[in-house]
Copies of this chain bind each other. A is one copy, B any other.
């Protein structure tokens, strides 16, 4: 669902008036790729071989750049770039830039993300040079975020997932966050209720805009 949503964002955010002005896109979507969080927690196999396989196929297709609409996979981004030579856009940096551009007064940023993304400190590392601080849901309430993500992945009734996300957003607001980044690409599907508590930034929007800018460069 994240890939389909990202593809739609890419289309909606591309200035185009007929089919022929849209971007040529190749998508490799292999849902059998091992779970990124389980790999980071040391309880599952690495997703790197499956991701490299997809990258090689996209490179053969002539991709100018690659977007991976999964925040947790960005823990493996340096390794993927080194081993494939592909240009892989940085979704975490893009999300933080998008948050800063849309809410320049906010320096304390809440994050809704997987345990893998949290543990790998992906957002902390990218936020520090920008002078931004990352705030998390307390560990003992992280299960609300995990449940919401799992519900989207299995296509369950999304009502409880939306309430879980709202609870998590309320936590972040209580901790002084001025906005929340949906830092897992399943979250935007269940963020409606949460967005009434705290402004929500979709990490995929920044990534889509980065891709469109990058491809405009390639074309010019």
Contacts and interface: CB of A to CB of B under 8 A. Distances in A.
Interface of A: 1, 3-5, 7-8, 11-12, 16-33, 35, 57, 60-61, 150, 153-155
Contacts of A17: 153-155
A28 B26 contact: yes
Contacts of A31: 16, 19-24
Given A5-B8, A16-B154, A26-B29, 10 more contacts: A4-B8, A7-B29, A16-B155, A18-B153, A18-B154, A19-B32, A19-B33, A23-B31, A24-B31, A25-B29
Contacts of A61: 28, 57
9 contacts: A4-B7, A11-B155, A16-B154, A16-B155, A19-B32, A19-B33, A20-B33, A24-B31, A26-B57
A150 to B, nearest CB: 8
A24 B29 contact: yes
Contacts of A57: 26, 60-61
A50 to B, nearest CB: 10
Nearest to A34: B20
Report copies per complex. Answer: 2
A12 B153 contact: no
Contact of A24 (B24, B32, B60): B32
| In the A-B complex, the 5 residue pairs with the closest CB atoms | A22-B31, A27-B27, A17-B154, A4-B8, A19-B31
A204 to B, nearest CB: 13
B19 A24 contact: no
A20 B32 contact: yes
Q: Which of A4, A11, A32, A57 is the most central at the interface, judged by chain B CB atoms within 10 Å of its CB?
A: A4
Nearest to A13: B155
A64 B29 CA distance: 15
Nearest to A33: B19
Contacts of A4: 4, 7-8, 11
A4 B60 CA distance: 22
Nearest to A20: B32
